[in-house]
Amino acid sequence: KVKPQIEEKEGKTFDVFTAVEFKTQVVAGTNYFIKVHVGNDEFMHLRVFRSLPHENKPLSLHSYQSSKTKQDELAFF
């Protein structure tokens, strides 16, 4: 659901966009830290926020880190 958001921010489209690892952090909702394979040996780390169910808001991309590798540790950011 956040792929169009990241493509708009990066100004390109991704043929490959596969989550390979994630961590969660409970706040007033949930932060998801997701390692995404975007093709070749390239990965991105995304921070996606899901609000509480009663707020009825869509998933939102809060921040991301590009130029990551498969070996880079997925950490909170």
The CATH number of the domain holding residue 10 is 3.10.450.10
Q: What's this model's pTM, rounded to 2 decimal places?
A: 0.84
Structural domain includes residue 28? yes
Report yes or no on 51 lying in a domain: yes
In a domain, 77, yes or no: no
Q: Is residue 49 part of a domain?
A: yes
Task: Return the pLDDT at 33.
Answer: 96
Counting the structural domains of the chain, the total is 1
Q: Return all residues near 37 (Cβ < 8 A) that are at least 6 apart.
A: 16, 17, 18, 19, 20, 43, 70
57 is a domain residue:
yes
User: Which one-letter amino acid corresponds to residue 39?
Assistant: G
Tell me the pLDDT band of 77, cut-offs 50, 70 and 90.
confident
Domain-embedded: residue 75: no
Q: Check: CB of residue 13 under 8 Å from CB of residue 7.
A: yes
Residue type, 20: V
Three-state secondary structure call for residue 7: helix
Q: Domain containing 13: what range? A: 2-69
Q: Please give the average per-residue pLDDT across 57-73, as a whole number.
A: 91
What per-residue confidence (pLDDT) applies to 71? 92
pLDDT tens per residue across span 10-55: 999 999 999 999 999 999 899 999 999 999 999 999 999 999 988 9
